[in-house]
Amino acid sequence: MIKHMVLRALNFFLKKVMSREKYARRLGVTIGANCNIATLEFGSEPYLITIGNRVQVTNNVKFITHTGGWVFRSRNPKFDAFGKILIHDNVYIGNNSIILPGVEIGQNVIVGAGSVVTKSIPQNSVVGGNPARIITSVDELETRMRRYDLSTKLLSPQEKRRYLLQLSDEQFIRK
């Protein structure tokens, strides 16, 4: 009991002081190069999660690697079922998305914020919703978004603020 409490306290402390990527690696998540990890939610079997190169996992994304085995344990007390999660290269996963067991996300995919990914996603897709469905291709989205490209990525935060605040409303995305 004391050992369990000490481990929980250590884990809580490490969540606060380590980078999110380093914390995920410590849990057993396999992470490629040039990733940006902003979540701490890797479920109870983080070692079943593989993340490729150039992947951005934003705030509050949850990875779930187990099923609802609890329901079956009245008949089979040892019941447990799991699914690995594989994220290929060059993927963006939007805030508050949930990735379920057994899902494979192909290369060059955008997962919209708040999506619940229940099935594998083919490469070059943009998906969103609950359950997540293909909305368009990455190439089609890029073509549509070009008119909104403001090329601010290399500006300092102050320069970016000044620039954005002086633009007309027509230069921003509107829904």
Domain 19-137 sits in which CATH superfamily? Answer: Hexapeptide repeat proteins (2.160.10.10)
Distance (Å, whole) CA 86 – CA 102? 8
What confidence tier does 1 reach under pLDDT thresholds 50, 70, 90?
confident
Its pTM stands at 0.86
pLDDT tens, residue by residue, 92-145: 999 999 999 999 999 999 999 999 999 999 999 999 999 999 999 999 999 999
Q: What is the mean pLDDT of residues 54-75?
A: 94
Domain ranges of the chain: 19-137
CA of 81: how far to CAs of 66, 78, 93, 163, in Å?
A: 6, 10, 25, 52
